[in-house]
Structures are given as structure tokens and as C-alpha cells.
Amino acid sequence: MIPLDYGRSFLIGKAPDNEVRFWVESRTRIIDEASGQFEDYIQVGSCKSEHTFAEKDLLHKDNYDFLPIFGPEWSIVYRRPAALSESYCEIRPSVEWWDGQKYHLVEGQDVVELGNNEAIREATYDFTPIVTQTEIWDEDTGLRAIIECPVKTMNTKREGNIYQVDTGPVAFPDLSQCYERHVDAISLAFVVFNVPHFADFVLEAPTAVGSERVHHYSKIISLEAQNRVYAVSG
């Protein structure tokens, strides 16, 4: 899977009443190893709830975050108001969101895998765009996934030659069971790692805040993984 050039990758809706364009923020490929088939899920940038093309009062007063993930057959929209909401996650056929999507996914033309900590740090100091791929799997279900994203936050320390990726959101798939639809396995998450062989994830989940419950990145899991870090340019 050649990393995308995330500075130039977009998708756009086909609906004539709103040909909305979204910036691509991550890509997750879910692979069934037995059949060799896979599906890609494209997570795009979030926005706020709005009255589109209104003459005034463009934002909903009870505002919420709005974040889509588009798949080949089914897509998700996450709506996150301040309090826990039953409409948080809505799954529909992809064609029902803006009459379907036109993808503009640009592969990186100059892609170099950064094979050690020093190379990762030097690319960071050179302000080179960096993309990571975190590969996870479950031997019992025979499912595998590659979670790809541009690095938004990179921690480095010259002493000790250390780095740490902390970025998201990404589309995290639960591979521990075989869902009827891959889309049902997906949660929003952030990924964190500093070595090639494992990754920690914090998933958005219902979370108690005092007497209230909200959706918050609070569910932490750690998985064996293969982490690859790339310098990517157009």
C-alpha cells in the first residue's frame, strides 16, 4: 500500500445541492486473509454542524462535531454534541451521503521508508511530511488491517535518539470478531507508538464526567503491531 500524499488527497460529494469537498485525514484497509479481499475506509476532516448556504445564523445553536468515514459500500457519520447522544454514530449506504463520493487519492511520488530512529528524527527536523502505517491483526479471525495517517504530532529527543508518534483521529477496526459488515467494527481513535512492534490506541467511547456521560477518547488498548514510518512528498 503506497502511502498517500495527504496534502493533496480529497473526496467530493456528487449531490448537485452541495458538492461538499473533504480533506482526507487517514485511510484504514481491512483485509480478510482467507479470501484476500479488502475494503478501504477513508476518514476525513471534521467540521461543525451548520445551516448550509443560509443567509445568516450559519451554525446550529446546539452545535456538534461532524466527522465522516467513507467506505466502498457503507459510510459512517459521527455527530458529537456535548452530552452523550443516540445519534452519535449513523451508518448509511455510501451513496446516501451526498449522492456518493468522487475520490481524489494521490499517492506519494517520492516515498522513503525511514528505517531507524535517527532517520525519523532527521526527517522531523527537516520539516518533511511524514506518514505512518500501523499494521494490526488477529490470528483467530484471520483479519488484518493497515491504519495509515499523516503524522500531526511527532515528539523527538536527541539524547537517547527517541521519537514518539501521537496522531489522529483514525478509523480503528476491532479485528477480534467477524462482523457482518466491516463498517460495524470501526471506532474513532488516536494512535501512539515509539517502536516498530506495538502501538497504543485511545478510542472514543461513552465516558462518565461527574454525573453526566459524554463521548470522549478514554478507552485505551495496546496491540502488537508493525509500525512503518515514511517520508512522503509529491
Q: Flag whether 3 is in a domain.
A: no
* Three-state SS at 209: strand
Q: Flag whether 163 is in a domain.
A: yes
**pLDDT recorded at residue 44:** 98
In tens, the pLDDT along 82-110 reads 999 999 999 999 999 999 999 999 999 99
Q: Flag whether 71 is in a domain.
A: yes
**What's the chain's average pLDDT?**
97
Q: Flag whether 1 is in a domain.
A: no
Q: Flag whether 18 is in a domain.
A: yes
| pLDDT above 80: residue 33 | yes
pLDDT tier for residue 126 given thresholds of 50, 70 and 90: very high
| pLDDT above 90: residue 31 | yes
**pLDDT recorded at residue 22:** 98
**pLDDT recorded at residue 170:** 98
Q: Scan for cell 506519494, then name that residue.
A: 108
| pLDDT above 80: residue 127 | yes
| pLDDT above 80: residue 131 | yes
Contact 188, 203 (CB under 8 A): yes
For the segment 159-169, the average pLDDT, to the nearest whole number, is 97
Q: Residue 99: left (phi > 0), alpha (psi -120 to 50), or beta?
A: left
For the chain, how many structural domains are there in total? 1
Rounded to whole angstroms, how far apart are CA atoms 116 and 39? 30
| pLDDT above 80: residue 4 | yes
Rounded to whole angstroms, how far apart are CA atoms 68 and 76? 6
Grid cell, residue 3, equals 502511502
Rounded to whole angstroms, how far apart are CA atoms 103 and 145? 21
**pLDDT recorded at residue 222:** 98
**pLDDT recorded at residue 80:** 96
16-19 long-range contacts, CB within 8 A, separation 24+: 16/99, 18/52, 18/53, 18/98, 19/98
**pLDDT recorded at residue 47:** 96
| pLDDT above 80: residue 234 | no
For the segment 67-75, the average pLDDT, to the nearest whole number, is 98
Contact 121, 130 (CB under 8 A): no
**pLDDT recorded at residue 233:** 82
- Where is 102: in which H helix or E strand? strand 101-104
Cα-flanking dihedrals φ and ψ of residue 100, to 5°?
95, 175
For the segment 186-214, the average pLDDT, to the nearest whole number, is 96
**pLDDT recorded at residue 107:** 96
Q: Is the pTM of this model over 0.75?
A: yes
* Three-state SS at 124: helix
Domain span at 119: 10-233
| pLDDT above 90: residue 187 | yes
Q: Flag whether 4 is in a domain.
A: no
Q: Flag whether 190 is in a domain.
A: yes
Q: Flag whether 83 is in a domain.
A: yes
| pLDDT above 80: residue 123 | yes
**In the chain, % of residues over pLDDT 70:** 100
